[in-house]
A and B are shown apart, each in its own frame.
Chain A
């Protein structure tokens, strides 16, 4: 794929914001490299679904959000959470199942929530977050706020009923929600091109009479730009949009899955060449936005942040066994669980 990059200056972004976008992408990459490392050392129970290679989507989208907005994530949610400003230490501790984690060790990687930041949860069921995001948007509209909700989901979720049912309602009632379809081509092993006849999934927007846009999901600035339009549209009360971000997951379905049986190595290598972080870095230097020294310093600092988060998580205690019996119901002592 040929580069179609436009000048960074042509996007309405100050240097500080561009720097933050670069650093947020790095945070996601380093965070996941670190958990891969912790997994291989046997420090992480269960699994985690890695977002490496898709960082430009989460960062491009979330750069448009204010603190009051909402987002609903997926099983591959680290990127969305980090881009919304989730606490790295609490995230890392949760992934390791520690008491100090976001959810006290009850969610692991796949269900992290930060209600205070409007992060309405990563979700283990494909497509299940789409109606929840739609309800969040209904709530914002009824409460008369200008809050926007982002609904992240993968290409495979676009074949769930919830995708169609939810977009249908959001379109009918002009709800302030932006549907972000991260098309990384594979639902575990199933190639979307083998189970769906249309080349682009964004064309489905037409069926619901809302805008549908395809964007290079590896170009953080383009993702930012098209989402900006959709977010503004939503804030103005003009209803939802569907944005399909074409991207690729470098790793297998989850840590420990080589991801090689169902796709060609050549394809993976080609996408790696188009690394969203590497290409953005090259542009920043070429266009003299940030110097090599400035970038190296950001990289060094970010690595340090991730190391601190990992150290915090590793040193944190596991929750007490009694914790399993807490938080089922709102009541302080809970309703009897047996």
Chain B
């Protein structure tokens, strides 16, 4: 397989570009997605290529431009709405949660809503409490939304193309800390299906499920754990809704241990949900309790010395996994 080296932001832009080229109904709208090429440079070049009607810089009106995307989706277009920071999802929650998520169901299956909402998650940039949250659990809670949490650039590209082609509302969480990192991405066109987890590394001693780039952190931790004689199996679920429970269940039956790493808050979070949703199937195979590593139930503080200790990282994964296996 031929690969090229590009940044995560470029991979996102490529996915959008390819889909806009493939289908004239695909449009992109959001704050600064046009002339600037996106606050995180993930839409560079699209405005110049497709013009202002297909790449629309919007006013700062998250709820209404999300609703505008929804109205366009109901009437023949396939919009991608960018909500710059995941924290701003809260400004658009009515259109996302009460409208987009429910219109197909409320209409008895008449309507379809091919709407992709791209947003971000992830702390670690000293952006403080309103620009650092990982709010994937917030939207997972609402039936009718698919929720994607890609890890690497190649994953983001393949999953975003699937999201855009999906006829349902999809909330797609890009990781702010990944945008500028360079990854290997396949040269040829590809898509990645929803609901199929990716086993990044096989191991016998513990299963670590990591969402978004926590899957990559877990992979790094696994290399260190090998030195301790611990072989970790790393699973990237890719999508939280739908969730590939079977891959996780199969793995935990083999390893007997499960650590779930998710950068969302702990309380009512994705990690707890994953644990509970598989517990019944793995209960008699477990050698110890399922554990989770998440962001503490706190607003994200500004100072790096305050921020980093409360979010999961490679070292915390290593420590926790070691504890779980060795006691």
Chain A positions within 8 Å of B, measured between CB atoms, are: 70, 72, 101-107, 111, 113-116, 120-121, 123-125, 128, 130-143, 149, 161-162, 165-166, 168-169, 172, 326-331, 335-337
Contacts and interface: CB of A to CB of B under 8 A. Distances in A.
Nearest to B95: A131
A172 B53 CA distance: 12
B72 A136 contact: yes
Task: Pick from A72, A115, A132 the residue with the most CB of B within 10 Å.
Answer: A132
Nearest to B241: A335
B212 interface: no
B172 to A, nearest CB: 16
B68 A166 contact: yes
A135 B73 contact: yes
Contacts, number: 159
B98 A140 contact: no
Nearest to A142: B53
A34 B109 CA distance: 27
Contact of B99 (A125, A169, A337): A125
Interface in B51-66: 53-54, 58-59, 61, 63-66
A232 B319 CA distance: 69
B217 interface: no
B90 to A, nearest CB: 13
Contact of A132 (B70, B143, B168): B70
A313 B152 CA distance: 54
B144 A165 contact: no
Interface stretch (B74-82, B197-205, B225-233): B74-82
Given A139-B72, A168-B61, A337-B143, A132 B67 contact: yes
B59 A168 contact: yes
Contacts of A143: 76-77
Given A139-B72, A330-B167, A335-B242, A161 B63 contact: yes
Given A111-B107, A330-B167, A136 B61 contact: no
A168 B58 CA distance: 10
Interface in B103-152: 103-112, 143-144, 146
Contact of B106 (A107, A131, A142, A331): A107
A327 B109 contact: yes
A139 B77 contact: yes
Given A125-B94, A131-B64, 8 more contacts: A103-B106, A107-B107, A128-B95, A135-B79, A143-B76, A162-B64, A166-B67, A328-B143
Interface residues of B, number: 45
B71 interface: yes
Task: Pick from B67, B104, B112, B241 the residue with the most CB of A within 10 Å.
Answer: B67
B63 A165 contact: yes
A121 B100 CA distance: 12
B146 A335 contact: yes
A106 B105 contact: yes
B27 interface: yes
Contacts of B59: 165, 168-169, 172
| Chain A to chain B: the 8 pairs with minimum beta-carbon distance, closest first | A135-B71, A131-B67, A103-B108, A165-B64, A165-B61, A135-B68, A327-B109, A132-B71
Contact of A121 (B79, B95, B103, B143): B103
B37 interface: no
Contacts of B77: 138-139, 142-143
Interface in B159-197: 166-168, 195
Contacts of B53: 141-142
B264 interface: no
A334 B98 CA distance: 19
A327 B108 contact: yes
17 contacts: A103-B107, A113-B108, A128-B95, A130-B64, A131-B68, A132-B68, A132-B95, A134-B67, A135-B71, A137-B71, A138-B77, A142-B53, A142-B77, A162-B64, A169-B59, A330-B166, A337-B143
A162 B107 contact: no
A134 B68 CA distance: 6
A72 B71 contact: yes
Contacts of A162: 63-64, 67
A132 B74 contact: yes
A329 B102 CA distance: 10
A123 B100 CA distance: 12
Nearest to B60: A165
A44 to B, nearest CB: 18
A139 B24 CA distance: 12
B210 interface: no
A98 to B, nearest CB: 11
B94 A329 contact: no
A60 to B, nearest CB: 23
A330 B112 contact: yes
